[in-house]
Chains A and B, each alone.
Chain A
Amino acid sequence: MLCQECGEREASLHFTKIINGEKTEFHICDVCAKDKGEYLPGGKSFSIHQLLSGLLDANQPFSQTAKQRSSQKPRPQLRCESCGMTYKQFADIGRFGCADCYQHFDQKLDPVLKRIHGGNSVHGGKIPKRRGKDMHVYREIETLKQQMQEQIEAEEFEQAAETRDKIRSLEETVQKKGGDAS
Chain B
Amino acid sequence: MTLQSFMNDAISPWMKNEGPEADIAISSRVRLARNLSDVPFPIVAKEDQLRNILEQTNTVCHEKSREPFGQFSLLRMEELSDNQKRVLVEKHLMSPNLTGDAAGRGLLLSEDESISVMVNEEDHFRIQCLLSGFQLEEGLKHAELMDDWLEEELDFAFDERRGYLTSCPTNVGTGLRSSVMMHLPALVLTNQLNRILPAINQLGLVVRGIYGEGSEALGNLYQISNQTTLGQDEREIIKDLSSVVSQMIQHERAAREQLMQNSPLKLEDRIYRSYGALLYSRTIETKEAMERLSDVRLGIDMGIIQQVKGSILNELMVMTQPGFLQQYAGAALSASERDQRRASLIRERLQLEEDSDNNDGGASR
Contacts and interface: CB of A to CB of B under 8 A. Distances in A.
B318 interface: no
A129 B151 contact: yes
Interface stretch (B50-58, B104-112, B160-168, B183-191): B160-168
B170 A138 contact: no
Contacts of A123: 159-164, 172-174, 230-231
Interface in B124-148: 144, 147-148
A85 B45 CA distance: 12
Interface string A97-140: 11100110000010011001111111111111111100100110
Contacts of B232: 120, 124-125
A93 B43 contact: yes
B34 to A, nearest CB: 9
B43 A97 contact: yes
A125 B160 contact: no
Contact of B144 (A48, A126, A131, A138): A126
Interface string B15-37: 00000000000000000000111
Contacts of A130: 151-152
A52 interface: yes
A95 B174 contact: no
Given A97-B41, A116-B170, A117-B229, A128 B165 contact: no
Contacts of B170: 48, 52, 116
A30 B173 CA distance: 34
B268 interface: no
Given A116-B228, A123-B163, A99 B169 contact: no
A62 to B, nearest CB: 19
Contact of B157 (A99, A109, A112): A99
Contact of B155 (A44, A93, A131): A131
- Say whether chain A's binding surface is mostly helix, strand, loop, or mixed: loop
A99 B213 contact: no
A26 B90 CA distance: 41
Given A94-B169, A131-B151, A102 B40 contact: no
A162 B39 CA distance: 44
Contact of B228 (A48, A120, A132, A139): A120
Contacts of B230: 113, 116-117, 120-124
Interface residues of A, number: 41
A52 B169 contact: yes
Contact of A128 (B158, B214, B227): B158
Interface string B203-244: 010000000011000000000000111111110010000000
A138 to B, nearest CB: 6
A83 interface: yes
Contacts of B335: none
A40 B39 CA distance: 39
A8 to B, nearest CB: 19
Contact of B231 (A56, A94, A120, A129): A120
| 9 A-B pairs with the lowest CB-CB distances in the bound complex, closest first | A120-B231, A123-B163, A99-B157, A97-B44, A117-B230, A125-B174, A98-B40, A117-B228, A99-B165
Given A121-B230, A125-B173, A131-B156, 16 more contacts: A48-B170, A96-B167, A97-B43, A97-B44, A99-B38, A113-B162, A117-B229, A118-B204, A118-B228, A123-B160, A123-B161, A123-B162, A124-B163, A126-B144, A126-B233, A131-B151
Interface of B: 35-41, 43-44, 122, 144, 147-148, 151-152, 155-170, 172-174, 176, 204, 213-214, 227-234, 237
17 contacts: A47-B214, A95-B43, A97-B41, A102-B172, A113-B172, A113-B230, A116-B228, A117-B228, A121-B230, A121-B231, A123-B163, A123-B172, A123-B174, A124-B233, A125-B174, A125-B176, A138-B160
